[in-house]
Structures are given as structure tokens and as C-alpha cells.
Amino acid sequence: MTTPFSNETTTTAQSAPTAPATIPDRSAMQCALNHAVTRGGAPGMVVEVRDDRGRWFGSAGVSDTGTGRERRPSERFRIGSTTKAFTAALVLRLAAEGKLGLDDTMERWLPGLVAGNGHDGRAITIRQLLNHTSGILNYGNDPEFFKRGVGAAWFQHRYDTYAPERLIRIGLATPPAFAPGDAFLYSNTNYFLAALIVEKATGGTFAQALTQWIVQPLKLTGTYLPGAEPTIRGPHPRHYSTLFSSDAQPEVHDATEMNQSFAWAAGGIISTTGDLQRFFGALLRGRLLPAEQQQDMFTTVDTTGPVPWIPSTRYGLGVFAQTLPTGVTVWGNAGATYGSWTYAVGTRDGGHLLASQVNGDWSGLGAFDGILTTEFGAAAERASSPRTHGAGGDTRHAGR
């Protein structure tokens, strides 16, 4: 089978070896995958890897604890905040077309919306939304909103539809954490604002723009924004969640069906491991964005901020750079939502990619530690060389 990129071969953990020389040896990765599921007690996990040896898919555990159905390569799942890379790429595509500018202000595009409680839409730019230096708080951290998604309350509200403006106003109800550009604070509110600007710039819905500018050009056949649609189309694993329970031994619930309008452009996309590799491969290799916008996307800011984020990371526009314990730096994004954690990263030149998902939400990012360090061992990598970083791999001050 051929991959989305020319002349690459595909192999899976399930395939019988027909020519050992052509099938990448991923026994260590399979062991790491098995260990991640066993140690964390996750229902199931998948990993898809692509490098110059070809493409490999491995799985552990199950898609459905009731039937014992195995995880498969074609499965669709909720990717959480990995969505932000798609949103940022869309904004940058529009910037390349001259439909908007990264240093345009909120007031220019959304007059009167970002105001009050110390917020000033004249001082916040699109760039600062995308790299989380706007100072605007995350609507998800609002105590009243958060309570709707915990335990029994989740079942009462799982099909609720949220208008973007409603959630933005929740984020703006708290004064900014700092002046725009002064620090980093991760906030879904930023990406809701960016998506509203996309709609103003294109005259259509955010979902339509995403399809036109990203999904269709890259032929991402398993990727879509469901809006208020509660089900996942096509083959998919069940998504198992503890619903943020603080119990020592929390009950696990099937959270597969839900209305993710509460996540929208910040975390609502559904995709597959193959589509994530196609997307991040195109992004990292410079096939999706012109050089100027590529430079913008991979210019990073410090993530320690007033609320420290993922250790050993820096954040660009919808993507992060993470230095692993092996010393290798990978680029991409990760995300979580009810019943699903996703990681999709690669070397800066896009020559070595990994996409993974676990269909349970209690293991956290630690579920991916073993597979990341196993796959991106220092001895095997060329990503840290100046050649592979190239233009767009530099770092600049948050205030840019």
C-alpha cells in the first residue's frame, strides 16, 4: 500500500513479513506500546510512525471493552487541542492570501467584543491569540462552566450546544492575567476568537473554511469538525472517561457521544493517525504554507508563564517544540478531551513522524512518554542539526 507521500511503503504490526529487509523493526516500539497500556490501565492505544524506512502501525488493548474489538489504523477519534494546529494553519493560509494580517487587532475584526474587565481589543493581535500571549483566560477554567462537565453533571449537559460568543464572554469575564505579549497563558478562548476572525475574513463558517483550505487540499478523508453532531462518523474506538472524578478509584464511563461545540476551533476536530501524519508532514515539510508563514508558525515563545505548561516546551502558532529526555526536539501538538488523548509530532524537517492516541483519559500525557523516547532516540535522529531546523526554527520574544 502506498502512503500519502510518493513511493513510501506501509507496514503494520498486524502484517505478515513478506520481505524482512523492507519492514521496519519496531519491536521496541510495540513493547513500549504494550507497556503504556498495561501500566496506565488504558483501554487501548495506537501508534503510527513514518520515517525513511516506511510507515508502521501498532496497537495494544481494545477499541471496545464490551466486545474486545481491536484497535485499527482507520479509526477516527477526537483529537482535542491538536485541533489548534489546524486552526493556526488555516489562519496562516488566509494570511498568505492577504485576507488578514497576523498583527491585525481584535478591534479591527471583532469590534467591541474584546472589552471590559481590563481587556482592550485594540492591543491584542491575531498573532498573540495563536501563541497564547494575549493574557485572556481560558473559559474552561471558569468554575461554573467547569462544574457542568464533571461527573453526573456531564450527562446532563453532554448534548448542550454552546455559541462561540458565549464562551468567549466567559473567558473575558476575568481580568487579563498580564498585558498582551508579556507572557504565555494557554487559553482556548484565544482560538475561539481566531475562528470568529476566520469567519469574518472568509464570509463562511469556520468549518467550511477548514474544509476548503486544509482538509480538501491535503485529502484528509477522515478529518472533520463535527460541530454539534454528537456521534463519530465511520469506524472509531469507544472513548472512556472518568469525567474528571477525584476519587481514588473512579468509575469509568463511555463518553463517545457528546456535543463538542464547547471545544470547537480549540479542540473539536475528529481525525485519524494517518490524517494527522499527512497534515503534520505537510506542515513540517513546508508544503502547506509559504516561507513567511512557515517562519511565523515555528517562531516560539517560552511556556513557563504564570501557569507553567508542558515541561521542556516552547509554543509557536498552534504548534509546540518539545525537547525529549533523549535530547531530541520534536514539533507538533497534543490534545485531550473526554475519553481521548492524542499526540502528533515529528522532526522539524518532517522526515520522521509519530501519531498516537489512547482511548481513555486517566493516564494523561505520561501515557506517551515511553513511545516518544523509544521512537525518537538521540542516536537515530538528525532533527537537531541546523540543516533540518532551517528557516522558521528560531525563537523570538513573546511580544513580537
Residues catalogued as catalytic: 81
Inter-helix orientation angle 83-96/273-284, to 10°:
40
- What is each CA distance from 11 to 27, 154, 218, in whole angstroms? 13, 40, 22
CB 362 within 8 A of CB 242: yes
Contact predicate 80/341, CB 8 Å:
yes
CB of 111 within 8 A of CB of 121? yes
E strand map for 73-206: 77-78, 115-116, 119-120
Whole-Å CA distances, 147 to 66, 151, 245: 29, 9, 11
Residue 6 to residue 303: CA distance in whole angstroms = 37
* Helix axes of 83-96 and 188-202: crossing angle, nearest 10 degrees: 40
At 121 the three-state DSSP class reads coil
Q: Position of cell 463538542?
A: 260
Separation CA 266–CA 191 (nearest Å): 5
Contact between 354 and 343 (Cβ < 8 Å): yes
Which region holds residue 10: left if phi is over 0, alpha if psi is between -120 and 50, else beta? Answer: beta
d(CA 372, CA 193) in angstroms, rounded, equals 32
Give the residue from 320, 332, 341, 216 showing the smallest Cα distance to 281.
332
Query: What contacts 400, CB < 8 A, 6 or more positions away?
Result: 127, 181, 299
Instruction: Tell me the three cell numbers of residue 26.
Output: 519496531
What is the C-alpha separation between 43 and 53, in angstroms, rounded?
30
Report how far residue 304's alpha carbon sits from residue 288's, in angstroms, rounded to the nearest whole number. Answer: 29
